[in-house]
Amino acid sequence: MAYDGPFTIEPKVSEFLSLDPAIFIDGDRVASEGSATLPVYDPSSGRVIADAVDATAGDVDRAVRSADAAFRDGRWRHMRPADRERILLKFADLVLEKGETFAQLETLEQGKSIAISRMFEVGASSEWMRYVAGLSTKISGRTFDTSLPGGPQHWTTYTRREAIGVVAGIAPWNFPILIALWKVMPALATGCSVVLKPSEVTPLTALLLAQTAIEAGVPAGVFNVVTGGGAVAGVALTNHPLIAKISFTGSTATGKAIGQTAISNMTRVTLELGGKNPAIVLKDADLATVIPGLMAGGFLNGGQVCAAASRVYVEAPLYDDLVGALTAAINGMTVGAGLDPAAQVNPLVSAAHQAKVLSYLDDAKAQGANIVSGAAVPEEGYFIQPTLVLEPGDNLKLTREEVFGPVLGITKVADAEEAVARANDSSLGLGASLWTRDLGSAMTLISRIEAGTVWVNSHVYIDPNMPFGGFKQSGIGRDFGIDWLDAYTELKSVCIAH
Ligand code: TXE
């Protein structure tokens, strides 16, 4: 298979695309025990650029057993933390060194702008990798005093954190490298082994990541990859009795199914699920900040961002100016394939996802919503025009469900009270933003917003040191931050009489 589009790609990328489909077990690319493959499409043309293995339950079992053997023999978890840290820093260096290959591959299979691939999938990834690598040497427990019976007997009591075992990382397709690393890196930093399953839509870069980890010195078997669909490979992985923890990012529906499996097996689980993220614009907000902020918050990566702004609630005096400025902005966007670095509107990830986003717009039209379409898009490829939906109404599907496309609903509200009530009227609670020049109003409203992250005068900024995760049905647990590794360890209390 190959890319035959109009842009020049690196020879290394062409070579990678032409490799026989494989999964990654015990430090190497290996063939599946079955023969099923999944086509990988270039979203800008709809043409197939590669085939990936659609892993069987037997493949998954092989990968998990390899990871389990690597965990049990201690080759990684009993390594000096400083050595693990050094290897993981090297891993980050190599991802940067191969950055253009990673970026082009990601743009080819995902459709996103090459600029976003370079900045986030490679640049941000390397920063997250270094942050987590550094946590390898910070794992610690506590000593504590107890009230156990005294006398001649003395007690020393403390906790230690121990690597949890084999981690299943289930990744989505919107940021295939970055989000995969959010699962793989904390697992590796604690001394766990990991089996990563990327989305069936974007399976390629995970395989290159695993290869790169080996080159950095991660022992064979510690980081395995199975590609394939959710129904077979995903289910086999999350149900496998040797999996100690699942880290999942994806839809709320799949997250709930995985959560139920996890509870029945007592597998530890972190779920980062969808969002329906409000942006509240108060009447004193500075539109010169709000407009670029909402354009980035709503349209970055085609809106295929779990924390993307999707419901804007604006106080009445600013409504007309805001709608006018956003309309001009979406009309001024340049359109093109992800490999065109100037194009701001790129295709969505797949034909199925394009159809899903269009179905929300069709429903809104049928319900009489006022739709403002931006820059025109080509017929070939999975493009969607950047779109505003004015006064969508609280019960429209598009207001209640995650659309995950370049679509912003804009609603006029009387005051901040109404904005907060409508913003909180959602089963999801991942992120939210407040736009105001009055820090006093912001400080009062922050605590009333039901979301895992509240941004003020910005939206969608994330950082390795800032915990991230959802309230309500947006998930369970938090990623990032100094306590991130807790979710990849068991806490053991030790009680010594002496
Ligand atoms: O997600 P799924 P899909 C949202 C977004 C999007 C919707 C559907 O709204 O339109 O989800 O996308 C694997 N057991 N997000 O269908 O099904 C699957 O193979 C184990 C939000 O892609 O959740 C893939 O690797 N695994 C989001 C991963 O789960 C299973 C990012 C995600 O797929 C499985 C992406 C199963 N039963 C989509 N079924 C975010 N939170 O950022 C599927 N999978």
Q: Which two tokens stand for residue 231?
A: 């129904």
CA distance 388 to 373: 6
Strands 431-435 and 277-281: parallel
Tokens of 352: 């199925």
Pocket test for ligand 1, best of 227, 243, 254, 361 (most atoms within 8 A of CB): 254
Place of tokens 């070939």: 380
Q: What's the whole-number average pLDDT of the chain? A: 97
Same domain, 371 and 388: yes
Kindly give the distance from the C-alpha atom of residue 183 to the centroid of ligand 1, in angstroms, as a whole number: 15
83 lies in some domain: yes
Q: How far is the CA of 198 from the centre of ligand 1 (A)?
A: 10
What residue ranges line ligand 1, CB within 6 angstroms? 170-174, 197, 199-200, 229-230, 234-235, 238, 249-251, 254, 257-258, 272-274, 306, 353, 356, 402, 404
The answer to whether residue 69 scores a pLDDT higher than 90 is yes
pLDDT digits (tens, 9 = 90+) for 372-402: 999 999 999 999 999 999 999 999 999 999 9
Q: 237 and 338 share a domain? A: no
Q: Are residues 282 and 259 in the same domain?
A: no
Q: Measure 174 CA to ligand 1 centroid, in angstroms.
A: 10
The answer to whether residue 4 sits within a structural domain is no
Residue 344 alpha carbon to ligand 1 centre in Å: 25
Q: What is the pTM of this model?
A: 0.98
**pLDDT, average across residues 60-78:** 98
Q: Average pLDDT, stretch 465-491?
A: 98
The residue contributing the CA closest to ligand 1 atom 36 is 230
Q: Ligand 1 mean position to 6 CA, how many Å? A: 31
In this prediction, residues 130-136 reach a mean pLDDT of 98
Cα dihedral 18→23→24→30 (10° resolution) = -80
pLDDT band of residue 118 (cuts 50, 70, 90) is very high
Judge if 182 and 220 occupy the same domain.
yes
Mutate to test the pocket of ligand 1, among 40, 199, 384, 402 (most ligand atoms within 8 A of CB): 199
pLDDT for 413: 98
Distance (Å, rounded) from C-alpha 204 to C-alpha 192? Answer: 23
Mark whether 246 and 351 lie in a shared domain.
no
Task: Read off the pLDDT band of 89 (50, 70, 90).
Answer: very high
From 179, 251, 478, the mutation candidate for ligand 1 (largest count of ligand atoms within 8 A of CB) is 251
- Looking at residue 31, what is its pLDDT? 98
Question: What mean pLDDT do residues 97-112 have?
Answer: 98
At 152, the pLDDT band (50, 70, 90 cuts) reads confident
User: What integer pLDDT is reported at residue 133 of this predicted model?
Assistant: 98
CATH number at residue 454: 3.40.309.10
Give CA–CA dist 108/118, Å, rounded. Answer: 13
What ligand 1 atom has the least distance to the C-alpha of 200? 19
- Distance linking the first and last C-alpha atoms of the chain: 68
Give the range of the structural domain holding residue 292, as residue numbers without chain letter: 277-463
310 shares its domain with 450:
yes
Q: Are residues 256 and 309 in the same domain?
A: no
pLDDT at position 297: 98
**Cα gap 217→104, rounded to integer Å:** 25
Per-residue confidence band for 150, with pLDDT thresholds at 50, 70 and 90: confident
- Span 327-384, pLDDT tens digits: 999 999 999 999 999 999 999 999 999 999 999 999 999 999 999 999 999 999 999 9
Ligand 1 atom with the smallest distance to the CA of 249 is: 41
What residues act catalytically?
Answer: 272, 306
Q: How much is the average pLDDT of 159-178? A: 98
Alpha-carbon dihedral sign for residues 349, 428, 248, 35: negative
Ligand 1 atom nearest 261 alpha carbon? 14
Q: What is the pLDDT of residues 211-238, one digit of tens each?
A: 999 999 999 999 999 999 999 999 999 9
Domain assignment present for 232: yes
Which ligand 1 atom is the nearest neighbour of the CA of 258? 14
pLDDT of residue 1: 75
Residues 36 and 124 in one domain: yes
Structural domain contains residue 449: yes
Cα dihedral sign, 354-360-364-366: positive
Residue 167 Cα to ligand 1 middle (Å): 18
Q: How far is the CA of 231 from the centre of ligand 1 (A)?
A: 11
Indicate the number of domains in the chain. Answer: 2
- Closest residue by CA, ligand 1 atom 4: 251
Specify whether 236 is located in the same domain as 260. yes
Domain match, 173 and 254 both: yes
Residue nearest to atom 39 of ligand 1 (CA): 230
In a domain, 6, yes or no: no
**CA proximity to 92, closest of 58, 33, 42, 133:** 133
Whether 1 is in a domain gets the answer no
In a domain, 468, yes or no: no
Instruction: Please indicate, yes or no, if residue 470 is contained in any of the structural domains.
Output: no
Task: Give burial (CB, 10 Å; 0-12/13-18/19+) of 142.
Answer: exposed
In the predicted structure, residue 201 carries a pLDDT above the cut 90: yes
* Closest C-alpha residue for ligand 1 atom 38: 250
Give 250 Cα–ligand 1 centroid separation in angstroms: 4
Q: Which atom of ligand 1 is nearest to the CA of 198?
A: 25
pLDDT band at 151 (very low <50, low <70, confident <90, very high): confident
270 and 246 in contact (C-beta within 8 Å)? yes
Residue 173: C-alpha distances to residues 177, 293, 303, 355, 454 (Å): 9, 24, 13, 16, 25
Q: Mark 264-281 as b/e (b = at least 16 C-beta within 10 Å).
A: ebebbbbbbbbbbbbbbb
Is residue 268 domain-shared with residue 282, that is, in the same domain?
A: no
Q: What is the pLDDT of residues 268-287, one digit of tens each?
A: 999 999 999 999 999 999 99
Alpha-carbon dihedral sign for residues 458, 463, 465, 469: positive
| CATH code of residue 168 | 3.40.605.10
Residue 369 pLDDT: 95
- Counting atoms of ligand 1 from 1, which one is nearest the CA of 255? 23
pLDDT for residue 257 is more than 80: yes
Q: What mean pLDDT do residues 58-81 have?
A: 98
| Cβ–Cβ under 8 Å, residues 299 and 454 | no
Average pLDDT over residues 299-324: 98
**Same domain as 233, residue 111:** yes
Q: Stretch 426-433: mean pLDDT, rounded? A: 98
- Could you give the CA distance from residue 177 to residue 212 in angstroms, rounded to a whole number? 12
